[in-house]
Structure formats: C-alpha cells, structure tokens
Amino acid sequence: MTALQIDQNVLDQAYAWIVALRGESVSEKKLEKFSGWLAEDKSHQLAWDEALDLWETMGAVSHLPVDELLAEGSVASTDPAEMLADPQTGVKFGLLEKLQSLWKPMALAFSLVVVGFVAVFNLQPEGETFAAGTGQYLAVTLADGSVVELNTNSEISVSLTESRRQVELHRGEVFFTVAKDKERPFVVDVAGATVRAVGTAFNIYRVTDQSAIVSVSEGIVRVEEADGSSVTSAQSKLLTVDEAVEIDAVRGLSESNVEHLQATAWRQGQLFFENTSIGDAVEMLNRYLHKKVIVADDVSRSIKISGTFSSRQKKETLAAVAQALGLELTPRGNKWLLSQPNP
C-alpha cells in the first residue's frame, strides 16, 4: 500500500475545517460534523494531516482571528461547506486577503504554504537574518544586487558594509548569485571555513555544524579554512565550474564527488537520486517534511534508488519513492513508515 494522492477539493475542505475550528468557541454540533467528515473517507484524514503540517510551517498558529473576520463581514460563515461554496468568502480568496491585512506577520508564510507562492524580496538586508521553514523556498535580493536562494529549513545572517559583504550560513542550504564588486569581496562563513567570491554563482549545503559541501555553477570560488581550525596546516582550494569541495572542521578540505545537477536540483523543486542508499534518500526527504519518514527494521539498508522526484509534491513523492523501492508506505502516528509489503 502506498500513500493516497489527495484531491485538491478535499485539501481545501481540510483548510476550511482548520479555520472553522480555530474560533474562540466551537459548538458540539460543529465538532460532531467535523468528526463525521474526518471518518467519511481515508483521504480526509490524510488531507487533515497535510493541512496541519502546513499550518505548523507558518509557526504553530494557536488562534485564527475568525471572530474578527466574521464581525467585519469578510467571512459569511465558519461552516466549511458554506465557505467553499462561495470563493469570495472561502479560504483561498477572501479569507486569505483578510488574514493578510489582520495578521501581517503571518501573511507571507500563509501565501507560501497555501498557494505555493515562491517569495522573492528586494530588501536592504544589512545586519539582517533570513530563514526558510521546513518545505519552504525563499529568494532574497540583497542591497548590492546579489541574490540568495534558501532551501528548506535554512538560515543566514547578512552584513553589508562599504568594504565587505559578509554572510554566515547557520543551517541548511543556500545558492548564491553574487553581484560583481571587486572592491568588496563576498564572503560566506560556514563550518569553520570561509568561501570567497567576487562575481560568481555557487551552492553551499551545511550538512552538520562541522561540515559543508560547496559546489560552483559559475566563475571561481576560493574556499579557505578559517583561523583557529583544528587542522594542523591551513588549507585553501580554488574551485571552478562544476567543481565541489567538502569542508570538515576536523579533517580539513577534500574533493567532493557530488554532481552539479544533484547539488542544485532543489532550485527547480527536485530531489535527484543516483544510486543513493535508502538511508541517504530518506535523510534527504526528511529535510522537506514535518511528518518524518522512518525505515522499518525488516528493510535492507543496502537498497539503492535512482531518479528525479518533486520536493514540492511531498505526498506524491513519498508514494513514488516507496513504489520505486518496492516498499509499503503507511502512516504511524506522526511518522511515515517504510516497510516490506505484507505477503
């Protein structure tokens, strides 16, 4: 058995139910109606889980201003069937717009999550921190014209001065398209090393606190160990197009066999596997998921997978990966379990 594909109409109903149940008070009649909807079909439970995951992406929302919306006439009813019957008072239109005006700190996240919007900002980010949540993509145009693209669960801090452009990659993965400025080097600090560029394009994935992978798409990048490295002699490497290096705070710099396509596939919303072990594949999938995948003890860790999958259509990708591996995918509480199919 593999994961069911969720119909968009059912997912819309789940969003509507979240709104309906987030008011100050919920009647027993409404709760009974919700329970009936949930039990009506297996896809309803899956849609509900998906909708909750998306709301959690926005910051674990505890209360939606349903009362305020009703008072101002933006939503005629908190009954999901009635909301969805009229798109002007439904979740995807009138309600979204009103939420954006009443709840501005959450408006961007709501757009990112509900309508699959890809955010592109033109900001003055001196001394700023930028972050993309789990399953999100964020693009930021810096004041110098450079563009940084943040993959899922990533965070950077940026400082631009008259003499230097400094970025620190705290976690996750970022693609940098650096505007040319010979007077101001563009420097990224990550895992005990610095990555320097003038006008180029490169990707950095911070694998752990002490390790990262740098791959170059355009131009030349210099990777240097920072002062105070535990490696006996400081190392420095020049990388050109399609070259990559692995940074390790203990072992130093070493050539990486990561391919350019694999390193940057995420920018097109893709996960690229080439003879990838099931453990590594699951680890990559889990970067995009709130509801993590675990592998049952009866599954051989020597299984490998190849192929390109969507990082945005998460449920469909989970089903496709399970099918490609010849395994069964089943929900287990707040996890997905990959196991051998029942005989």
Instruction: Give the model confidence (pLDDT) of 294-341 as tens digits.
Output: 999 999 989 999 999 999 888 899 999 999 999 999 999 889 999 999
The terminus-to-terminus CA distance of the chain in angstroms comes to 12
How far apart CA 147 and CA 126 sit, in angstroms, is: 14
- Least confidently predicted of 5-19, 37-51, 70-84, 143-157: 70-84
pLDDT at 54: 63
User: What 3-state class would DSSP assign to 252?
Assistant: strand
Which of 304, 294, 301, 302 lies closest to 328, judged by CA?
294
How far apart CA 37 and CA 263 sit, in angstroms, is: 42
pTM over 0.75: no
| HSE toward the beta carbon, residue 59, CA cutoff 13 A | 12
How far apart CA 14 and CA 44 sit, in angstroms, is: 7
Structure tokens at 289: 């998921």
Residue 7, C-beta contacts closer than 8 angstroms, at least 6 positions apart: 43, 47
* pLDDT band (50, 70, 90) for residue 251: confident
How far apart CA 187 and CA 167 sit, in angstroms, is: 6
Residue spans per domain, the chain: 8-114, 119-261, 269-339
How far apart CA 256 and CA 56 sit, in angstroms, is: 35
DSSP 312: S
Mean pLDDT over the full length of the chain = 76
Q: Fill in the amino acid letter for 64.
A: L
- 218, β-bridge pairs: 201
Alpha helices, H only, the chain:
8-20, 28-40, 42-57, 66-71, 80-85, 94-102, 104-114, 260-264, 278-286, 314-325
How far apart CA 235 and CA 252 sit, in angstroms, is: 7
With a cut of 80, say whether residue 148 has pLDDT above it.
Answer: yes
* pLDDT band (50, 70, 90) for residue 79: low
pLDDT at 159: 92
Q: What is the fold, at CATH topology level, of the domain defined by 119-261? A: Jelly Rolls (2.60.120)
pLDDT tens digits, 54-70: 655 444 333 444 344 43
How far apart CA 151 and CA 212 sit, in angstroms, is: 14
With a cut of 90, say whether residue 5 has pLDDT above it.
Answer: no
**CATH code of the region 269-339:** 3.55.50.30
DSSP 54: H
With a cut of 90, say whether residue 168 has pLDDT above it.
Answer: yes
DSSP 200: -
With a cut of 50, say whether residue 89 has pLDDT above it.
Answer: no
How far apart CA 96 and CA 111 sit, in angstroms, is: 8
